[in-house]
Structure 1
């Protein structure tokens, strides 16, 4: 080493002292530093384990429970598939920040009367029977106030508006009709618009022929269901309006078509009607003196088989000669036209009882060359002189064996 240059020796010594001061040996200071570092590492490990012990039950509990509190992921902005009418609406999350309102992208199907009349529309099929091959269904231009047969007409019933198919937009409900005689077939139709704004047909709500003969009115509820007021008959052809019975039936869109969801499904027997049964006896004798005519005495026995009283009875077709006695004197002298112009209107028959009615005529001694048998009938009338159909019309009619 003595051969080294004094300056080189000095630099090597400085370097050795610097290295020694940086490298800690296994002394007390190093032991304390190592112990403190191990304590910090142990504390960190304990804390991490505690966090795991706390979080693990929470995660496990959330996995076991139904995750109702998690806000749903918003659906894409496409036309949604409507829920069936019996499906309840999806509840909104009760916690968390409110979801932003989603604007419907479906076209607005609110259509005015003038717009519908100006368009050509496709209609669902009309009722079978008289309408087959009659009213058109494709590219129909609706008309109003027409008496033409087999022409589709827009009825006077007010339109209804509401979200029928659950797409978030409004659709239109209208009544259309088609005359096939004195009466008309009718149907309730739901209209909408496509994305180009054209009027299209969503579907038929209901039509006549499905257990009833007339449609009186419609109303769209807030839940998208359609209430239809229907009638069992369509007064026409001389049928009085008071015979009509009405019901309200509810229909909803199920994703493919409309179906009934509420209200009665049939009318059943009319509780206002009764069953009158009539039998007849007769006697035909010569008139004394020079009169060549003969005296015909006819006795009608009328039984009320129920279920309601008949305040009056109306006889039809019994005018077969000159009146000559019996109950003719008790006939209502001026029966109302509502009793269908009966030959005689007399006090009626309570339920479960029978009454006899006698009519005397003077008739020719010989029948005419083209003489025919006469058919007699009796009907139930109320206190307002209104006649009512019989529940079993065949047994309230009889045929005379005598030709007149």
Structure 2
């Protein structure tokens, strides 16, 4: 069946008998004319129905919307310092071998985010910073899109601390987005120069980095280098400057680990035991001497005759020994004997390690978070 509407026409009356031939001729002519008119009438009715049911297609707006061949506007990533200092920013994770702090979405006010402190901080390892601070900014076209981005030096600070240079941009909606970390104070890099971050005309971010971070009254000489980093493949890669830190005769990095101290059965009123202390040279100048310091709890004292010469100091109980150092980038384990009156229990032994140069002067340690250990003391019968 056709889906077109049916058109009905009125029937013609039968003509009188006396004029039958004349009306027959007229009827044939009328039918022929109707045969020609019916398709036209049907077509007109269908077209009128279609126009009534089909909604009009609006004309495309002429308000400046870019056509497919017209490039979209590039977001301006040049973010004023005052704006950055009072924005919610996504901060990348802080180095694991330096001062710790929160990361992710952080709300800055006047360039600062206070850090909530831990109720029971770990006795050794990187401490938690007091605040995160936007230190300074620089600008340049990092991704070569024809518009500037923002590069900020940010610190997680507690009398010095971690730093990282972070790049920011804006998305198409105008919101601030984080591109990533350019360089951070981790490994051999322990400091980033204030106001040293620059962006070259070809989009390379450069910064002065050092092997040691001075604080307070510290006068340790630092080794400085300028290194450059380029945005590529969704991250920053070093493209210029030294890739290794030059040796600094005043700076070392040693680490210490120790096992527990087990005091055995009582003999003549004392319990005896030994502790193994491992000192490792991580990087920097290899010490001419390994320095190990002990801070014993109540009643604990050295035992036996195998101890090296002991230097005592103003902090009592306290003692320091000087030993042959571990090999470069290697480790050495030293064993020390202790005793304690049998009636005393519990307690601990604090150990710290460092290095000294040929003139017996103590070297500055570039990462002090790894050169201490807390030894638990227990008894065994």
TM-score by length of 1: 0.43
Higher strand fraction (1 or 2):
2
User: Rg: which structure is higher?
Assistant: 1
TM-score by length of 2: 0.44
Which structure is richer in relative contact order (CA contacts within 8 A, separation 6 or more)?
2
